[in-house]
Chains A and B, each alone.
Chain A
Amino acid sequence: MGPLVPQEIIGADWNFFIAFVVGIGFGFVLEQAGFSSSRKLAGMFYGYDTVVLKVFFTAAITAMLGLLFFSLFGWINLNLIYVNPTFLGSAIAGGVIMGAGFIIGGFCPGTSVCAAAIGKIDAMVFVGGIFLGIFIFAEGYPLLEDFYMSGSMGPIKVSDVLGISGGVMALLVIIAALVMFKLGELAEKKWPREEY
């Protein structure tokens, strides 16, 4: 049955409307969870607020299990779901630069747009920075292209690399998440703070 648009069960004309509705849900949940506050987000890295860990992993596991069960029930064809390709070197280097941006700026792109929507001026400056950073990358692309394209591994999955099923992989992620949630709860007790 699914995914509906790639299989033309719903017309492609609807795809941008779906994107808009999905975005409303995305922005609403981020804001309700407190991701519009850089001090809450940064709390992750000092142990006083681990909401990032809890929301991020619960969301990843929910969607992961949803895809696996939908596939099991024959509701979705996983071969038609986009899997982002792996380029190991640039993925690690890009991630390291993004991690520095996270602890320095206190946001990531999605959360900064969400925070800008409720009037956070620091978030608006962060969004301006994203524009500039992408522009710098685009202008420097000729110098970066070789590294950017190196180490292509295609759209590979962790479960295939480890030689286990998607279900076992999901179980391992769930166990790891439960351990981290427990550590997060302990950290919040150890380094308490007032609410922002």
Chain B
Amino acid sequence: MKTKYMNPYLAGVLLGLVLLMAFFFSGRGLGASGAVKSVVVAAVDVVAPEHAANSGFYSKYVGEGKSPMKAWLVFEMIGVLVGGFLSGAFSGRLKWKVEHFPGITANRRLVFAGIGGILFGFGSQLGRGCTSGSALTGMASLSVAGFVSMMAIFGTAFALAYFLRKNWI
């Protein structure tokens, strides 16, 4: 099959080397949802500082001398935006669009994207990290949590694929 994308095995090796670089320099792996959590915490702390200080969740990250936005993952995710943009520019893929299976409308795609995002955000907090932070990084460091996350995420997506097939095929 002809493709405009990088060979997946080469991309995998490169992604693995990026992850190894994070381990070697910073002693930790990649992540994504943790950066969004930082933004949520910072926003709540600005809008309702008392609520943040009294909450069992937000209070872990705010207070004297703590700044939720000064987090490793926040800087890493700013990098992801830059890196993704550069790659898109390099390969001529910068374009405003709602990408969807032709059998459904753009609005239906957007509604499902929003619902999926809500579920993924909620699940990432309950599961202590998403595909990159818990599953990928966890597997590389051989952690049980990493393998459990990977199997639960991909297993559930496979199990539900039949019910959502009209959105994709």
Q: Which residues of A contact B (CB under 8 A)?
A: 2-6, 10, 15-34, 36-40, 42-46, 48, 51, 54-64, 66-67, 70, 75-76, 80-88, 90-123, 125-139, 141-142, 144-145, 148, 153, 155-159, 161, 166, 169-170, 173, 188, 192, 195-196
Given known contacts A109-B33, A109-B120, A99 and B15 CB-to-CB distance under 8 angstroms: no
CB pair B24 A100 closer than 8 Å = no
CB pair B125 A134 closer than 8 Å = yes
Interface residues on B, range: 35 or more
CB pair B21 A25 closer than 8 Å = yes
CB pair B146 A84 closer than 8 Å = yes
CB pair B80 A26 closer than 8 Å = yes
CB pair B156 A104 closer than 8 Å = no
- Roughly how many angstroms separate A29 CA and B3 CA in the complex, as a whole number? 15
- Roughly how many angstroms separate A26 CA and B33 CA in the complex, as a whole number? 14
CB pair A98 B124 closer than 8 Å = yes
Query: Does more than half of chain B's interface fall in helix, strand or loop, or is it mixed?
Result: helix
Given known contacts A26-B80, A95-B148, A63 and B23 CB-to-CB distance under 8 angstroms: yes
CB pair A85 B128 closer than 8 Å = yes
Give the nearest-CB partner of B146 in chain A.
A84
CB pair A19 B75 closer than 8 Å = yes
Residues from chain A with a CB closer than 8 A to the CB of B29 are 63, 82
Given known contacts A29-B11, A33-B5, A94 and B128 CB-to-CB distance under 8 angstroms: yes
CB pair A84 B133 closer than 8 Å = yes
CB pair A98 B120 closer than 8 Å = yes
Residues from chain B with a CB closer than 8 A to the CB of A26 are 15, 18, 30, 76, 79-80, 83, 132
Provide a sorted-by-A list of 15 A–B residue pairs whose CB atoms are within 8 angstroms. Answer: A2-B24, A25-B18, A27-B83, A56-B12, A56-B135, A84-B138, A84-B145, A85-B145, A100-B116, A102-B157, A104-B164, A117-B81, A123-B113, A133-B122, A148-B126
Give the nearest-CB partner of A10 in chain B.
B25
Per-residue A-contact encoding for B149-166, CB less than 8 Å = 1, 0 else:
111111111111100110
Give the nearest-CB partner of B14 in chain A.
A29
